[in-house]
Structure 1
């Protein structure tokens, strides 16, 4: 058991993943703050014009999908790194493994 733990601790791939998880945790926090700004802008737009702003709608959807990709990576549901290490709109095409 101790040998297996020592082996796991020496795996470079594990430490790389932990590093990227820390990076994407910080990026995810920033994206969530931007999403709140999008929410506030959309509410203001709806109050002023009576309808949702299509540009803000599209931007909010893209940010939401990006957040989803980050969460998939952080929860080990995908090994594919989110943007900027993959294409921006890759998340919609991700094939999640069957569990």
Structure 2
């Protein structure tokens, strides 16, 4: 049984928890901007389809890596990962980070 007057650091006094909280706020704003960028890519891809009949290949790859970045941010914000997203780690590749299974349908 723990003593109420123990000298253990309380969670709300922990510097690392407060630093993570600040990064959560920062990455929350970055995630909002990244989601706005996905919207811009979608609009541009739509007009590319209208004009050329084909999507822009470079934007498809960037859009996929941007989706993976948003996934990393959401993982961090929901405390499912302790890994800090870009720019504190590498930019995600353009391979899908989330794998669908038959249970997802």
Normalising by structure 2, report the TM-score: 0.78
Where does 1:59-78 land on structure 2 (aligned, <5 Å)?
A: 59-78=62-81
Q: Residues 24-43 of structure 1: matches in 2 within 5 Å?
A: 24-43=27-46
Q: Residue 53 of structure 2 corresponds to which residue in structure 1? A: 50
Rounded Cα–Cα distance in structure 1 between residues aligned with 2:61 and 2:92: 12
Q: Deviation per CA, 1:5-45, whole angstroms, max 9, x where unpaired?
A: x8111011110110000000010111111111000001110
Of residues 21, 25, 42, the one that matches 1:22 is 25
Structure number with larger C-alpha Rg: 2
Aligned residues: 91
Moved over 4 A (4+): none
Structure 1 residue 52, shift from structure 2 partner:
1.3
1:97 counterpart residue number: none
* 2:11 counterpart SS class: helix
Give, in whole Å, the separation in 2 of the partners of 1:89 and 1:40: 23
Unpaired stretches in structure 1, ≥5 consecutive residues: 95-99
Structure 2: where are the runs of 5+ without partners? 98-105
